[in-house]
């Protein structure tokens, strides 16, 4: 044991010197980190100044919650758009009108055929025939532009007019 004590005493100056250098290095490193922290705190205070927000953490949490709500609303809107897109081709929004004189008499073209169809030409064609003796209105269902009832040339023309894209 005495040998160890003599060895430590012989090297004591070096050990104390090394510890002193280490402590001085730790003190310098501590001051450098403190300086960096003060700069960051100044920048943080400048950034947060005038915002009315206590801390950045609550702001980030509020933004994350807001983003979640926006994403939920966007997903709901995407579903609504999908449902509307599926229904849109089925809408009877295409209209074709053909006016004519059904009986070749004198007078205006008061007879008509109107076709209301969707993109697949499903819908209805309505024909109104006018003569001096009276008026008659007929409706015929359409499936893919065809009807189980005979279609007149004017009705076919109204269907064709409704099928044209504008």
For 31-82, the pLDDT digits (tens) are: 999 999 999 999 888 887 877 777 778 878 888 999 999 999 999 999 999 9
Residues 6+ away with beta carbon under 8 Å from 40: none
- 79: helix, strand or coil: helix
Q: For position 166, what pLDDT does the model report?
A: 47
Beta-bridge partner residues of 111: 100
User: Model confidence over 78-112: pLDDT tens digits?
Assistant: 999 999 888 877 777 788 899 988 777 666 778 89
Rounded to whole angstroms, the Cα distance separating 116 from 91 reads 9
Relative to beta strand 94-100, strand 123-131 is unpaired
Please give the model's pTM, rounded to 2 decimal places.
Answer: 0.51
Average predicted confidence (pLDDT) for the chain? 87
Alpha-carbon distance of 140 to 150, in angstroms, equals: 9
Q: In sequence order, what are the residues at sequence separation of 6 or more whose Cβ sits closer than 8 angstroms to the Cβ of residue 159? A: 96, 115, 117, 121, 125, 142, 145, 151
- Let me know: does 61 contact 84? Beta carbons within 8 Å: no
């Amino acid at each position: 044991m005495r040998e160890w004590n003599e060895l430590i005493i012989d090297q004591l100056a070096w050990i104390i010197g090394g510890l002193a250098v280490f402590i001085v290095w730790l003190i310098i490193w501590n001051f450098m980190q403190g300086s960096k922290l003060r700069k960051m705190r100044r920048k943080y205070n400048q950034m947060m100044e005038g915002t009315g927000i206590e801390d950045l953490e609550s702001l980030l949490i509020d933004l994350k919650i807001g983003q979640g709500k926006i994403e939920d609303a966007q997903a709901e809107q995407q579903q609504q758009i999908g449902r509307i897109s599926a229904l849109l081709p089925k809408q009877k929004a295409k209209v074709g009108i053909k006016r004519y004189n059904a009986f070749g008499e004198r007078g205006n073209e008061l007879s008509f055929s109107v076709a209301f169809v969707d993109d697949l030409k499903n819908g209805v064609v309505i024909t109104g025939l006018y003569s001096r003796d009276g008026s008659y209105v007929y409706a015929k269902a359409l499936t893919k532009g065809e009807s189980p009832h005979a279609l007149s040339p004017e009705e076919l023309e109204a269907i064709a007019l409704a099928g044209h894209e504008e």
